[in-house]
Structure 1
Amino acid sequence: MTLEQRVNDDIKQAMLAKQPERLAALRAVKAAILLEKTSGTAHELTDADVVKLMQKLVKQRRESAELYTSAGRAELAANELAEAGIIEEYLPKQLSAAELEAALRDIIAQTGAVSPADMGKVMGVATKKLAGLADGRAISEAVRRLLN
C-alpha cells in the first residue's frame, strides 16, 4: 500500500470515527498531493515525493504555530501543532542527534572534508543520503559544528 493510499484510507476512518482534527490534517495532505499531481508535470508521485510534501506541510504548520504564538493566539497555535503531529505520524522516524552525528562523520570521512570550506561537498552527499531522516537545518548545523 502506498503512502497516498494509506492517507486516503485514514481519511475514511477519521470520518467514521468523527475525528475533526485528524480529518483536517489528512485532507490537507491529500490536497497537497492532488495539487502536486496536477501541477503540469504529469507524473505519478512516489512515496519519497509524498514524504517530501508531508515534511513541507509539517514545516509550514510549525512556522504558523510560531507566528500565532507570538501574536498571542495560543488556540490557533495549538491547532497547527496538533495537525503537524498527525502528519508526522506518516513520516519516517527522524534520526536522533547522536545518530545524525555518526552518519555525518561517515560522510565527512568518505568525502575527505577537513575544513569549513568543504561544507558544500559534505552537504551535497548528506542531503541526498539523509533525505527524510533529518531536517536540512539540523544537518547543516551539525556539519558546520563537525568541520570547525
Structure 2
Amino acid sequence: MISTNIDQEIKQAMLAKDQVKLRGLRAIKAAILLAKTEKGQVEEINEDAEIKILQKLVKQRKESADIYKRQGREDLYQVEQEEIDVISQFLPKQLERSEIEAVIARIIAETGASSIKEMGKVMVLANKELAGKAEGKLIGEIVKSQLA
C-alpha cells in the first residue's frame, strides 16, 4: 500500500530536513486521509484507489503549473514542479506513446471496432488496462485518431 510507504518516507524526509519532499508527501497523505474519511466511504481504500488519488494530485499540479508559467510566476511554477516530481515517484511508470498506441490497436482489433461511434467501448477497455500507466486525455486522443 502506498499510504504505508508515505508514512515511512515522511519520517525520513523530516530527519533529512528535506522540505520539498516533505511538502509533497504531506499532500499525498492529506489526500488519502480525506478519501478515507469521505462520507459514504465503507471500504478500506485499495492501491488502485490510491493511484487514482495520486494521478489526480499530479493533474491538479500540472494545471496550476501551466497557469503560473503563463503568468510568469516562476517561483510558484517551481513549487508545483517539485511536488509533481515527489508525487510521481509513487505512481507506476508511465508508458511511452508507442506502447499506448500498440495496446489500443490490439483492443480495437479484439473488439472489432471500426468507427468513431464505437469509441466508448474501446475507451472503457483501454482505461481499464492502462489505468495508472497513461493519462486518460492521451488515451482518448490515440483512440480517436486510430478510429478516425
Q: Give the TM-score range, shorter chain.
A: over 0.9
Q: What's 2:66 paired with?
A: 66
Tell me the C-alpha RMSD between the 2 structures. Answer: 0.8
- For residues 119 and 43 of structure 1, the distance between their equivalents in structure 2, rounded to whole angstroms, comes to 32
SS in structure 2 at match of 1:93: coil
Q: What's 2:75 paired with?
A: 75
- For residues 147 and 51 of structure 2, the distance between their equivalents in structure 1, rounded to whole angstroms, comes to 29
| Poorly superposed stretches of 4+, deviation over 3 Å | none
Q: What's 1:28 paired with?
A: 27
- For residues 43 and 7 of structure 2, the distance between their equivalents in structure 1, rounded to whole angstroms, comes to 19
Q: Deviations over 1:109-130 (max 9, x none)?
A: 1111011111111011111111
Q: 5+ residue gaps in structure 2? A: none
Q: Deviations over 1:84-141 (max 9, x none)?
A: 0110010000110111000001100111101111111101111111111110000000
1:89 aligns with 2:89: yes
Q: 5+ residue gaps in structure 1? A: none
SS in structure 2 at match of 1:54: helix
TM-score norm. by structure 1 comes to 0.97
Q: Deviations over 1:31-61 (max 9, x none)?
A: 0010000002132111111110000000000
| Matched length | 147
TM-score norm. by structure 2 comes to 0.97
1:37 aligns with 2:36: yes
- For residues 136 and 13 of structure 1, the distance between their equivalents in structure 2, rounded to whole angstroms, comes to 33
